[in-house]
Chain A
Amino acid sequence: MENTKPTQQHTRIEDILHKIQNKEISIHSKTFFRLKWLAFTILVAAICFVSVMLCSFILFTIEATGQPHLIDFGTQGLKLAFFIFPWLLFIIDIVLIVLLGSLTRHTSFGYKIPGIYILLGAVCIIGVSGYIVESKTTFHKNMLMRADSKHLPFVGPMYRNVRRAPPPGYEIYRGTVVDAGEGFVLVTLDAYDTDVVSTTTTQVFVRFASSSPYLSEVMVGQTVLISGKIVEGQIIHPRLKVVPRLPLVE
């Protein structure tokens, strides 16, 4: 039997060459690949930017809501910290980081590196950049001010939410010290359900033992977190933590 394979092969090669000659198959230009690469780079940069901003906002929220101090309030504090943690943003950021890692694997160098290293690298870079944006710039504070004055579309409610006091039910309150004396401080509590906490609702006497170390820490005008039960407008022997003060509403 005659071997027809080489002939078939030649026919197929010939067919492709003929299509090329007739311009039925066109070659993608270098510009096409450069533009593709540029689009890819812009996409990666955009994901990086959004991811860094989200990360810094999460850190800003944690700091602004005094979450690190809630640990000192025991189980209730931990529960509250868990409840007010911005989980949705955190999950979105994780998804973006995974997406970033996945895109990096499609580069000429990325596939040579195990995925775990790429992911850890991305987490470190995004985390450090987010920390720098949060701690070394006033970006989020400025955004918060703009949100307060309703000049921040889309993300405005997200920023205004940062001002919310702890929700009821945890016996942990946030407020501003308006007076301090022998064994007590007077605190104006922030309300949970106001969008922007400029409206204050309740004043409570917070009573300590005269030897309490809290008394030397607290000064008028400071923002504090207090845990304890309010009975007849008083909280007796509470735990108290001074937390950073958010910029005032203009």
Chain B
Amino acid sequence: MTQGVYYTYIMEELYIPPIHVSDEELATRIQKGEAELLGVLMQRYTDKLTRYGRKFLSNTDNIDDIVQDVFIKTYQYIQSFDTSLKFSSWIYRIAHNAFVNGLKKQQKGPILMPDFDLDVFMSHTAYLDPKIEEREYAELTQMIEQGLEKLKPKYKEVIILYYLENMSYKDISDILQVPTGTVGIRVMRAKEQLKKIYTDMKMDVEKYIHTT
């Protein structure tokens, strides 16, 4: 069977499951041997992970290759996935590690994301996801993209996941493997940094960014 025919067979004829089949259920079936269903998960996540990678890495030349590696790792490590947990957090965790490695290769200098981080070490008040109006959220998202490049990686990643990927603190905590309180404190500090960046750019940000 040629590659093209095989792909059509998998994706269009036999294995495209109904939209309500969850990622977790697909992962379970892959664990049981239906490896072809990885194609469905890849379809669901390629754009999301590529978008995440483009925002995370400044040099975006090899993002497609990194994302491809993420899917290969996903398949290789699928038996370690606990199907009672969220698949999206798990695959984003794999992608996050891959992008951090990509970032290290890009910088070829000192590692900017050391294993020891005081934010993770200290205890912080439990932060709850604040409620943001939809319109305000859209405007804020647009503004954030402009200042993203100037943020430190550890702040950049929480801002991308929270504002641009629209994830909860809990999901971000599972992806970055840091306490929820740490996610909250990083979001707050990232907003403070963004505020400073925008002030330097002479942009009016008070309307959007409340750091207290």
Q: Any chain B CB within 8 A of the CB of A199?
A: no
Which range holds the interface residue count of chain B? 35 or more
B124 within 8 A of A: yes
A111, B72: Cβ atoms closer than 8 Å: no
**Interface assignment of B79: CB less than 8 Å from any CB of chain A:** yes
B38: interface (CB < 8 Å):
yes
Q: By the criterion CB–CB under 8 Å, are B4 and A14 in contact?
A: yes
Say yes or no: B39 contacts A116, CB within 8 Å.
no
**A20 within 8 A of partner (CB):** yes
Instruction: List CB contacts (< 8 Å) of B115-160 with chain A.
Output: 115, 120-124
Q: Quick check: is B42 within 8 A (CB to CB) of the other chain?
A: yes
Instruction: Tell me whether A136 is interfacial, beta carbon within 8 Å.
Output: no
Binds A, one of B52-60, B172-180, B190-198, B201-209: B172-180
Between A and B, how many residue pairs show CB distances below 8 Å?
94
> Which residues of chain B from 41 to 79 have any CB-CB distance to chain A below 8 Å in the complex?
42-43, 46-47, 64, 68, 71-72, 75-79
Chain A interface residue count, CB cutoff 8 Å, equals 33
**Is B79 a contact of A12 with CB atoms below 8 Å?**
no
* B10 interface contact, C-beta 8 A: yes
Main SS class of interface, A: helix
Which of the segments A25-33, A148-156, A184-192, A241-249 contacts the partner chain? A25-33
Q: How far is the CA of A117 from the CA of B124 in the complex (A)?
A: 11
Contact bitstring A8-33, B, C-beta under 8 A = 1, else 0:
11101111111111000111111011
Note all chain B residues with C-beta closer than 8 A to A14: 3-4, 6-7
- Which residues of chain A come closer than 8 Å to B122, judged between CB atoms? 114-116
Choose among B43, B75, B121 the residue that contacts A114 (Cβ–Cβ < 8 A): B121
Question: Smallest Cβ distance from A40 to chain B, in angstroms?
Answer: 12
- Which chain A residues lie closer than 8 Å to B4 at the CB level? 14
